[in-house]
Amino acid sequence: MKINDRFTLLFVRIVQKLLGLRKVGSGTALPGLIIEKYIPSAFERFAGQLDTIILITGTNGKTTTKAIMSEIFQEADIEFVSNKSGSNMKRGILSAFLENSNLSGKLRSKTGIFEVEEATLPRIVDNLKPSILIVTNLFRDQLDAYGEVNKTREYIRDAIEKSPEAKVILNGDDPLVSTLTKNLPNETLYFSIAEKYRKNISYEGISTKNGSSDILQASKIVIQEDLSSEFQADDQTYLLKTPGIYHVYNALAAILSAELMEIDQAHISNAIQNFKSAFGRGETIEYRTITGKKINFKILLIKNPAGFTLTLDLLKRTKGIKLLLILNDKIADGRDVSWIWDSEVEKLNDIQPNLIITSGTRAHDMALRIKYSLKESEQNILVRPNIRRAILSAGKRAKQDETIYVLPTYTAMNEFRKLLGKKF
Amino acid sequence: MKNKFQLTITHLYPQEMNLYGDLGNITTLRRRANLRGIEVKLVDVGVGHELQPGQTDLYFFGGGQDKQQVQIAEDIIKLKKNALLEDLENEVAALAICGGYQLLGRYYLAANGERAEGIGFFPIETVAPGPDVKQRCIGNISTHLVHDQTIQQVKKYYDYKSQEVNIELLLTLVGFENHGGRTRLLTDENLHLSKVIKGIGDSEDQGFEGLRYKNAFGSYMHGSFLPKNPHVADLLISLALERKYGNEFKALENLDDKLDWKAHRKALKLI
């Protein structure tokens, strides 16, 4: 490594430390940005030090899949480097490398687990050669960013074509995903859930019967009162606290990759049982109002119609709850909020919430969507675009120990968590 | 209130052409009719079904991805074109968004060079310049109506004063556009629906958005379009009912659209 490079690395590590001290969450990609500019070869040099690289892509579930895998790897005492949730472009991965490296640019870990944004994937696999590549699903998500979902699929197919050595783990129920390795030499494994549990999941395209025998299927899923899932796959019973059928998919993908990594079953089962939700994905935050009343906010991130519909479907089990829906239209959320009209918000009629507050930059759009979905159109919807005011409104109306269900889009979730004193 | 009016809404290609919340338009039409006691029958017509003329009061035709659009183009010519042309000529009300708008025109030339013939009802042609997402028109859009007949009818059929909406606001439209194709009008007749305030619309060099011919409206506005433009939703319902029931139909009852207009006003201010 050249003197200049060393100097840059030192400088960036200092920046990283400072960012850490100031708890600037969204600054995670900044160190990567600096390195990218001043040591363009750094990415390749870091990536080349890893023996095993696991990449996770797809529209929904990247963060949770990665988080479950991290839990399993920790349980099995395997050291690894991993990028922060949402920092899933090249710079975010570079930042993760930096944090994991010493000053001569040597990584501490030999294994890498990264979530990668779909369009970024084909651009990085030349350097970051995956041993395992996981594709969670392909839903309509941020169509304003890519134009069309077929385009997103092409990015991923491209990346797989460039990685003939990679073992590929695919969602066997999603027609756009299950066919990704067709006519390619890649060894492919599938995960799936039994048909009766996926009625509400609207995959794109026509499903064809999956002829492969390499399927790990959740044959039985029981949703518990606290919305956690107990499921069976390959004669093993797993308990997953993170609420939502879709997270069972994520757990299955993580189990398959752990098996490929030859991790003991006991470690896998324990890790899944101990897994606490990735932030914003079923995470509960305790909050005290100014009068000392304790309430809980349960955060269920929504990003696209598929996830929004499934989340509402899950909440049928909790009749009469209080709901706070926060719709932002920043770039990371998607500038186009049309997707709320593709979501089955009509499911609110099954939940019968006793309070609905909408918030965020597009609070009125969300309120209008809800107005059009409720049978009793008289029901009051509180519109509080400012998130702080929405929290106060919710807090005022909640009873001691009550749980308020918060459904925010991505940037809304970050803002919400920050207002409740959580760092990234 | 229950009345004798009934409305048949035909949704063309609901499986293939349903991008960007276009379903919200159906939700809105149905709900706004139901609240007036108008019975709504919704008919889905997809690939492989031959469309019969004289069966419907209102067509809705949404947008799709390039791939789907080229797929259905063949079907529309074979199984739908004649019935559609006959109905639309006979002033059946219609709303066509994005891909639907393009296919009511003469043809759509996709970014990859594939050409989809339209039914040729709208005198327009649409060409997508290239496959790059940067070449797409993506963003919030607001416009004001310039189509005279539409302006007069909106004033007539929508009781804007009771909604505390002034005339300037009444004549605006808001939505979100996301299209590669650039649409050009091929006639001197002024069929443009609206003039762009913010956004791109049909194409950069023209400054217009959407088109109206007879009772058929074409537009690039998603958003969804109708929820935040309740005056257009009511216009479509009114045109359909007037055509069907003649003088028996007078006017739609007022609904409480305060929230709808708040969302509309907010959308006008979006960048």
CB within 8 A of A281, min separation 6: which ones? A63, A64, A242, A244, A247, A299, A300, A301
Strand (E) or helix (H) holding B30: helix B23-35
CB atoms under 10 Å from CB of A65, counted, come to 28
A338 CB within 8 Å of a chain B CB: yes
Surface of B (99-158) touching A: CB under 8 A: 133, 136, 138-140
Alpha-carbon distance of B106 to A28, in angstroms, equals 50
Of the ranges A334-338, B21-25, B225-229, which is most confident?
B225-229
Chain A contact set for B177 (CB, 8 A): none
pLDDT of residue A69: 97
> Where do the domains of chain A lie?
3-274, 281-419
B35 CB within 8 Å of a chain A CB: yes
Alpha-carbon distance of A98 to A46, in angstroms, equals 9
Chain A contact set for B140 (CB, 8 A): 335
Main-chain phi, psi angles of B228, to 5 degrees: -90, 0
Contact status, residue B100 vs residue B144, Cβ threshold 8 Å: no
CATH label, A281-419, candidates 3.20.20.140, 3.40.50.620, 3.40.50.1970, 3.90.190.20? 3.90.190.20
What is this structure's pTM? 0.87
Contact status, residue A114 vs residue A89, Cβ threshold 8 Å: no
Surface of B (201-240) touching A: CB under 8 A: 222-224, 227-228
- CA–CA distances in Å: residue B22 to residues A32, A387, B243: 40, 28, 25
For testing contact with chain A, the best of B15, B16, B18, B23 (most A CBs within 10 A): B23
Segment A355-373 mean pLDDT? 97
Structure-token pair, residue B269: 């201010």
Strand (E) or helix (H) holding B99: helix B99-104
A19 CB within 8 Å of a chain B CB: no
Which residue of chain A has the CA closest to B16?
A: A205
A15 CB burial (10 A radius; 0-12, 13-18, 19+): middle
- Partner residue opposite B222 with nearest CB, options A147, A336, A365: A336
A314/B18: higher pLDDT = A314
Residues of B with catalytic roles: 98, 222
Main-chain phi, psi angles of A378, to 5 degrees: -70, -25
Spatial CA neighbour of B267 closest among B209, B218, B223: B223
- Taking the alpha carbons of B236, B242, B245, B248 in that order, is the dihedral positive or negative? positive
Size of interface A-B (CB pairs under 8 A): 89
pLDDT of residue A203: 85
Which residue of chain A has the CA closest to B179?
A: A147
pLDDT of residue A17: 67
Alpha-carbon distance of A278 to B227, in angstroms, equals 35
Chain B contact set for A145 (CB, 8 A): 133
Max CA separation in chain A (angstroms): 70
Describe the strand order of the beta sheet including A294-300 as a list of residue ranges: A281-288, A294-300, A403-408, A322-326, A355-359, A381-383
Put simply, the answer to whether B21 touches A340 (Cβ < 8 Å) is yes
Quote the minimal CA–CA distance from A253 to chain B in Å.
29
Chain B contact set for A331 (CB, 8 A): none
Interhelix angle B148-157/B230-245, rounded to 10 degrees, is 90
pLDDT at A388 over 80: yes
Chain B contact set for A336 (CB, 8 A): 20, 138, 176, 178, 222-223
Residue A421 confidence class, pLDDT cut points 50, 70, 90: confident
Structure-token pair, residue A85: 């949730």
Structure-token pair, residue A244: 């939502």
CB within 8 A of A28, min separation 6: which ones? A19, A84, A87, A92, A95, A424
Chain A contact set for B266 (CB, 8 A): 362, 364-365
- Partner residue opposite A342 with nearest CB, options B23, B65, B263: B23
A366 CB within 8 Å of a chain B CB: no
pLDDT at B91 over 80: yes
Structure-token pair, residue A126: 């030349």
pLDDT of residue A26: 46
DSSP B114-144: -EEE----SSEEEE---S-GGGSEEEEEEEE
CB within 8 A of B114, min separation 6: which ones? B66, B70
Spatial CA neighbour of B120 closest among B107, B111, B110, B129: B107
pLDDT of residue A378: 59
Bridge partners of residue A56, in order along the sequence: A115, A134
Q: What is the share, in percent, of chain A residues with pLDDT greater than 70? A: 90
- Partner residue opposite A364 with nearest CB, options B139, B222, B263: B263
The 3-state DSSP class for residue A45 equals helix
Contact status, residue A311 vs residue A302, Cβ threshold 8 Å: yes
Structure-token pair, residue B64: 């799709």
Put simply, the answer to whether A383 touches B259 (Cβ < 8 Å) is yes
Put simply, the answer to whether A335 touches B259 (Cβ < 8 Å) is no
Averaged pLDDT of chain A: 88
CB atoms under 10 Å from CB of A29, counted, come to 20
Alpha-carbon distance of A101 to A109, in angstroms, equals 9
pLDDT of residue A143: 56
Contact status, residue A311 vs residue A247, Cβ threshold 8 Å: no
Helices (H), A52-180: 62-75, 90-100, 121-124, 143-146, 149-161, 175-178
Bridge partners of residue A407, in order along the sequence: A325
pLDDT at A330 over 90: yes
Which residue of chain B has the CA closest to A373?
A: B27
pLDDT in tens, A8-40: 777 677 766 666 654 444 446 677 777 777 778
pLDDT of residue A270: 95
A372 CB within 8 Å of a chain B CB: yes
Interhelix angle B23-35/A363-373, rounded to 10 degrees, is 60
pLDDT of residue B192: 97
Segment B91-101 mean pLDDT? 96
Bridge partners of residue A230, in order along the sequence: A222, A239
Quote the minimal CA–CA distance from A376 to chain B in Å.
11
Contact status, residue A114 vs residue A83, Cβ threshold 8 Å: yes
The 3-state DSSP class for residue A314 equals helix
pLDDT at A141 over 80: no
Residue B9 confidence class, pLDDT cut points 50, 70, 90: very high
A4 CB within 8 Å of a chain B CB: no
B189/B229: higher pLDDT = B229
CB atoms under 10 Å from CB of B162, counted, come to 11
CB within 8 A of B237, min separation 6: which ones? B7, B29, B32, B33, B38, B58, B252
Bridge partners of residue A82, in order along the sequence: A113
pLDDT in tens, A393-403: 999 999 999 99
Chain B contact set for A142 (CB, 8 A): none
Alpha-carbon distance of B112 to B183, in angstroms, equals 17
Structure-token pair, residue B81: 């074109």
For testing contact with chain A, the best of B16, B266, B268 (most A CBs within 10 A): B266
pLDDT at A233 over 70: yes
- Partner residue opposite A143 with nearest CB, options B18, B20, B228: B20
Put simply, the answer to whether B138 touches A338 (Cβ < 8 Å) is no
Cis omega (within 30 of 0) on the bond before A163?
no
The 3-state DSSP class for residue A249 equals helix
Q: No. of H helices and E strands in chain B?
A: 8, 13
A76 CB within 8 Å of a chain B CB: no
Segment A199-209 mean pLDDT? 75
pLDDT of residue B134: 74
Chain A contact set for B66 (CB, 8 A): 148, 150
CATH label, A3-274, candidates 3.40.50.300, 3.40.1190.10, 3.90.870.10, 3.40.309.10? 3.40.1190.10
Chain B contact set for A337 (CB, 8 A): 176, 223
Max CA separation in chain B (angstroms): 53
